[in-house]
C-alpha cells in the first residue's frame, strides 16, 4: 500500500468517533504533510459542533420525558449518546451543514475570490436561529407547570387568582409596603411575583390544598425553620431547562410571604449589588439574576417585560 493510500486509511479511521486511535491517526497524517488533513480536521470540528447541538436538544427533550419510562433509563441514554456522536461524525463527513467547507476556504486560502469572515459585516439573523431553542425552553417550562397535579405530588401548583388583574389588585397593598421598605417600585415587585407564579396561576399548594403564599420562588434551605412544600420545578443548566424536585418555603399569608421576600434580599450578602441598584428597576433585576436569584438566563428580561406591560403599569390603586 502506497503512502497516499495509507494516509487516506488513517483519515477514514479518524472518522469513527468510538475509535480511540482516530485522533492519533489524524496527527500522524498532519506530520506527514498530507494535503487532505485540513479538510478532515474541519470535518472533525463540524462533527463536534453538530454533536453539541444534538446534546442540547436531547437535554431539552429529557426535561419532558417520563422518568419512569424504561426508554428513559441511563443505559438507553448511554447508547443513545454514542449513536448521536457517531451520527454527528457521519453527517459532517457526508457534507453536513457546509461548516467544514467554510473552514477550509477560510484557512486554506485556495480560492482567490473568497472573502475572509473578518471583512464581512455580521448582520446574521441570530434571533431566528435561536428561536427553536427558545421554543424548547418554553415548552419544557409550560409542561412542568401544567403537569403538576394533586394526584401525583405531595405538593402541587394551582391557581390562586382568576386573572392577572385580580392578581395585581390583591397583592398591591403588600407590595407597596415591601417597596417602601426596600426603596423600590411596588409594581416591580408585582412584576417579579407575576413571572414566578404565571400571574398567580401556578402558586405552590401543599398536600392538603393550602396555598404556600410563596410568590417569589424562595426555596427552603437550611436557614428556614418554618413549613415547606416539595414540588417539581424548572431549573436551567447552561441555558437548558431541567425538571427537578425542590423544597419551597410556606407562609401563613400573602403578606408574610412578601415580607419574607424583603428580608431575603436584604439579608443575603450576594444581593447587595441589587440593593445598591434599587432605584433603577432594570439594574435591580439584572443584579438579582447575576447574583443567582434565578437560573433562567432570561429572568431579568422576562420580569422587565411584565413590568412594562399594560396590566402592571395601567393599574391604579
**Catalytic (active-site) positions:** 235, 260
Q: Count CB-CB contacts under 10 A for residue 258.
A: 25
Strand-pairing partners, residue 245, are: 232
Instruction: Provide the pLDDT for residue 238.
Output: 64
Instruction: Provide the pLDDT for residue 159.
Output: 92
Instruction: Provide the pLDDT for residue 25.
Output: 61
Instruction: Provide the pLDDT for residue 6.
Output: 47
Tens of pLDDT, residues 53-80: 777 777 766 665 666 666 667 777 777 7
Residue 198 vs residues 178, 182, 215, 217: alpha-carbon distances, Å:
20, 23, 10, 11
Tell me the domain boundaries of the chain. Answer: 3-114, 155-313
Q: Tell me, yes or no, if the pTM score tops 0.85.
A: no
Instruction: Provide the pLDDT for residue 114.
Output: 52
Strand-pairing partners, residue 258, are: none
CATH number for 155-313: choose from 3.10.129.10, 1.20.140.10, 3.30.70.1450, 1.10.530.10.
1.10.530.10
**How would you write the pLDDT of the chain (317 residues) with one tens digit per residue?**
454 454 444 444 445 554 545 556 655 655 555 556 666 777 777 777 777 877 777 776 666 566 666 666 777 777 777 777 777 777 666 666 677 677 666 655 555 555 555 544 444 455 555 566 566 655 665 554 454 433 344 788 889 999 999 999 999 999 999 999 999 999 999 999 999 999 999 999 988 889 999 999 898 888 888 898 888 777 666 666 677 778 899 999 999 999 999 999 999 899 999 999 989 999 999 999 999 898 888 999 999 999 999 999 999 98
Q: What is the dihedral of CA 222, 243, 230, 215, to 10 degrees?
A: 80
Residue 190 vs residues 165, 197, 207, 246, 315: alpha-carbon distances, Å:
11, 11, 26, 23, 11
Instruction: Provide the pLDDT for residue 288.
Output: 93
Record the cell numbers describing residue 48, joined without a space.
463536534
Instruction: Provide the pLDDT for residue 101.
Output: 72
Residue 10 vs residues 28, 31, 47, 211: alpha-carbon distances, Å:
8, 12, 17, 65
Instruction: Provide the pLDDT for residue 27.
Output: 58
Amino acid at each position: 500500500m502506497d503512502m497516499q493510500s495509507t494516509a487516506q486509511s488513517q483519515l477514514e479511521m479518524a472518522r469513527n468517533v468510538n475509535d480511540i486511535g482516530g485522533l492519533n491517526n489524524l496527527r500522524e497524517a498532519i506530520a506527514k504533510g498530507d494535503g487532505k488533513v485540513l479538510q478532515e480536521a474541519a470535518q472533525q470540528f463540524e462533527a463536534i459542533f453538530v454533536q453539541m447541538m444534538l446534546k442540547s436538544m436531547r437535554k431539552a427533550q429529557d426535561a419532558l420525558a417520563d422518568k419512569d419510562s424504561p426508554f428513559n433509563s441511563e443505559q438507553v441514554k448511554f447508547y443513545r449518546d454514542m449513536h448521536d456522536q457517531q451520527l454527528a461524525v457521519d453527517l459532517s463527513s457526508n457534507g453536513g451543514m457546509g461548516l467544514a467547507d467554510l473552514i477550509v476556504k477560510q484557512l486554506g486560502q485556495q480560492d482567490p475570490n473568497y472573502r475572509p469572515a473578518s471583512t464581512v459585516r455580521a448582520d446574521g439573523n441570530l434571533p431566528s436561529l435561536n428561536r427553536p431553542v427558545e421554543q424548547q425552553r418554553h415548552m419544557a417550562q409550560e409542561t412542568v407547570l401544567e403537569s403538576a397535579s394533586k394526584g401525583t405530588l405531595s405538593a402541587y401548583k394551582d391557581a390562586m387568582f382568576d386573572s392577572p388583574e385580580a392578581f395585581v389588585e390583591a397583592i398591591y397593598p403588600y407590595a407597596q409596603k415591601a417597596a417602601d421598605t426596600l426603596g423600590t417600585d411596588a409594581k416591580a415587585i408585582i412584576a417579579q411575583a407575576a413571572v414566578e407564579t404565571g400571574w398567580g396561576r401556578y402558586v405552590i399548594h401543599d398536600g392538603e390544598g393550602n396555598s404556600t403564599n410563596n410568590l417569589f420562588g424562595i426555596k427552603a434551605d437550611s436557614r428556614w425553620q418554618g413549613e415547606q412544600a416539595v414540588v417539581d420545578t424548572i431549573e436551567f443548566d447552561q441555558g437548558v431547562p431541567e425538571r427537578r424536585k425542590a423544597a419551597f418555603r410556606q407562609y401563613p399569608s400573602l403578606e408574610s410571604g412578601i415580607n419574607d421576600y424583603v428580608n431575603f434580599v436584604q439579608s443575603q450578602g450576594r444581593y447587595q449589588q441589587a440593593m445598591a441598584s434599587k432605584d433603577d428597576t432594570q439594574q435591580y433585576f439584572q443584579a438579582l439574576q447575576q447574583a443567582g436569584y434565578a437560573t433562567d438566563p432570561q429572568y431579568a428580561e422576562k420580569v422587565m417585560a411584565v413590568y412594562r406591560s399594560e396590566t402592571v403599569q395601567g393599574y391604579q390603586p
